[in-house]
Structure 1
């Protein structure tokens, strides 16, 4: 009895620390756009201090601002396509069936964590909405009393644990798409397909270990007994009211309410995919970001059945893309200043940072330092793809200099990049809208995950990194 009480008190103590951190971040953390603006200012000051002329800094800012236009749209489409697929009627029915599977409160929380992490390997936007809808469906069950906050935190774990090790990894997708890579970065790394990044056995082993760790923590940290706070306790209505599609009012709308065009579009997409798989290497096809988005967009159209229902879902998804659309140009400007604004001796800030990381040397020390640096920077710049474009020029140059495998360097970044999401609530926003909760309701549980994930991730990037050989980059001919 005494040990049980002590254990319960310890868990309450951890919860108090986590909730205190959640309250601090909610009170003091500025909007992510403000952080991005501040980042531009800091990089500008650093470039001027490095000896760059004001004109060179101004030119780098303006000329680089739109360098990521294509990639910005692609990342916004990742969110949009994920939302559209997750809210389609077939997926909604699947969620209701899945919600009936768990038998206990703890297993319900760990079940949501397992599915959210697994789905995030396909699409992180899909994972957020899918996980949130699954949490709501379980919370509606009258035969099971589950902590709604823990369910919500479990729904976020795809984005907080392994999303960047999957198909929608911004860094891996960017490195696999020559047309999306800024020329300075392309010259350093060449094109790295998925076979050198997310599909290496080391990356997949790391992914399995982190998912298992996530599920275990979710299971054993789920509140029990009197500590449980259900959705009803939190005054959250989890009974979904389906969006009604207005009836057809004029003859010209009949195609909007017909399944003919979505079916034909689906057939065309399937035909294109088969043709690509027959004519190109499989890794080349699956590494194509444009092809990936095409398949997910058309899948959403087919699953919704009619253009009218599909467009209604799209209109609901668009607000979730706002942060990406206005922030990524600032990241592009930062990357341009870092890599193009030359200072004393013709050296850029990117060059100085590359020298710093090169001096660390290769092997485990390099992997651990890059991972820690990525975590720290990610707390203040919550953007997987945008932040990679800021980091990549000097990190990948350093990796080349110390003969660290470039594909594994991308994965070091990917696995470490997810960790700040467990602290910074920026990417929780779409999920919070679905759950009707506040960030402070979830961060207590996600911070607990962070405490366990950080040392495990550092150990994995060090140990698994020793199994790679260095492969010189191959830059495609113009």
Structure 2
């Protein structure tokens, strides 16, 4: 917990920064935990199904039967956070962070530098981006030759999640759509499998990512406090001591293997061999689109970088608390999706079918893209989960996209680019970063809200204009697998 430094009240702020600080204070006081929003979402969806004419038995059956539909995907998303944390806290990455922290020579440049690196790393792994960005911000703040605003550094470290995370390799929606085994059967029959070549690796998606990275970096640079407005970590009461824990002693002969560097090396060689085999036997996009393969590589990379099983397990233990929100919320999202798609009401139509009709009535083209983006952004404020929320939205959004002949891969990317926007307002995904920075959400939201006001119109313009460059490709639906 931080202590307020002199002059940090909202009265000293001006313009959008002051509005954002007021908003942050209001949300901290009145917004409940994200889990409460998920519980409320289940209740609202159940009420909507009842109003649609579904029987109470149909609703409760859909709730209970669908509750564990996302068990595999829940574990996969928790592993994204865990593997990112483990890699970011490894000694080699820590040394890299210390070297990078010496690069910026000016306070404003330091802020934009953290933002740029945070977004670049986020393209690989959003969990890694949070921890990497936070540790880089702390390393820069420890410099005695550079006076930098710690709040702005922290907000910059969050830009990987606030700008481009869902356009990268760890995008929940893109990974889900590329992995048939993780897709609920009903959704698979609507969309088929969409590999990365149809989503994040399209030139339109890569161009969107590049534009947002450049825009965010410039805004971070221009909005960084200067002179007397700067509030350092010391002034905010933050302890920047990141000294590593002393190595524990080996007290029993049986502990020898726990400190052995041989096993991690052998595991790394096995993983490298498997990866080479995959690339030799399968198409490139199929290999990198595999969520399980992606997680395997990052997990074993963390083991190799930590050097010994003991060090690796200590890092895993520290990472586990950051996965709590995913583990308890995703089953609720699965239940919501089941109620929406399986609890039939009057006329045999589900709530999902009615929503699909509504979006289809908007028509194709730019109007459809803009409405889907706005809907995704608004819903994301109340359901802060990229993958879980996609399972709720996807059945009716993708059905609507098919009906109006909107390219399905681009529809996924419309969702992805809009999904990052609410992260700039809702502090749910800030939690792992805040734990690293030892700050509160209100310390960062003044800067992230400014980014939000600039990102929103740019995102809407991009999904509208770039959507015109796509042609519709009918989904390739795999044959249904018979029940055992």
Relative to the length of structure 2, the TM-score reads 0.96
Name the residue aligned to 1:301: 303
Q: Displacement of 1:26 after TM fit?
A: 1.0
Shift of 1:13: 2.3
* 2:356 is aligned with 1:354: yes
Structure 2: gaps (5+ residues): 1-10
Task: Provide the residue aligned with 2:101 in structure 1.
Answer: 99
Query: Could you tell me whether the CA contact under 8 Å between 1:156 and 1:428 is conserved in 2?
Result: yes
- Counterpart CA distance in 2 for 1:327 and 1:171 is 16
User: Superposed, which structure 2 residues align to 1:106-125 within 5 Å?
Assistant: 106-125=108-127
CA distance in 1, matches of 2:315, 2:249: 16
Task: Check if 1:205 corresponds to 2:207.
Answer: yes
Among 461, 466, 469, which residue is 1:467 paired with?
Answer: 469
Pair 1:172 & 2:174 matched? yes
Shift of 1:431: 0.3
Aligned partner of 2:19 in structure 1 is: 17
What is the DSSP-based 3-state SS (H/G/I as helix, E as strand, rest coil) of the residue aligned with 2:310?
helix
Q: Which residue, 430, 433, 450 being the options, matches 1:431? A: 433
Cα displacement (A) at 1:460 = 0.2
CA distance in 2, matches of 1:439, 1:459: 29
What CA distance in whole angstroms lies between the structure 2 residues aligned with 1:245 and 1:341? 56
Deviations 1:350-377 (A, max 9, x none): 0000000000000000000000000000
Larger deviation, residues 13-22 vs 177-186: 13-22
The 5 A counterparts of 1:327-406 are 327-406=329-408
Provide the rounded CA distance (Å) in 2 between the counterparts of 1:456 and 1:239: 39
Question: What is residue 449 of structure 1 aligned with on the other side?
Answer: 451
Contact kept, 8 Å, 1:113 with 1:154, in 2: the verdict is yes
Q: Over aligned residues, Cα RMSD in angstroms?
A: 1.0
CA shift for structure 1 position 449: 0.2
Deviation, 1:11, is 7.3
Per-residue CA deviation, residues 213-241 of structure 1 (Å, 9 max, x unaligned), is: 00000000000000000000001011212
After TM superposition, the score normalised by the length of structure 1 is: 0.98
Pairwise CA distance, 1:10: 11
Identify the match of residue 85 of structure 2 among 83, 86, 92: 83
Instruction: Confirm whether residue 184 of structure 1 aligns to residue 186 of structure 2.
Output: yes
Matched residue of 2:237: which SS? Answer: coil
Structure-1 separation of matches of 2:289 and 2:198: 11
SS at match of 2:477: coil
Deviation digits for residues 84-120 of structure 1 (CA, Å, limit 9, x no counterpart):
0000000000000000000000000000000000000
Gaps of 5+ in 1: 1-8
Q: Distance in 2 between matches of 1:177 and 1:320?
A: 25
Deviation at 1:12, TM superposition (A): 2.0
- Cross-structure match for 1:5: none
CA distance in 2, matches of 1:467, 1:78: 32
The CA distance in 1 between the partners of 2:30 and 2:255, in whole Å, is 50
* Rounded Cα–Cα distance in structure 1 between residues aligned with 2:130 and 2:31: 22
Partner of residue 6, structure 2:
none
Q: CA deviation at 1:71?
A: 0.1
User: Is the Cα contact below 8 Å between 1:245 and 1:308 reproduced in 2?
Assistant: no
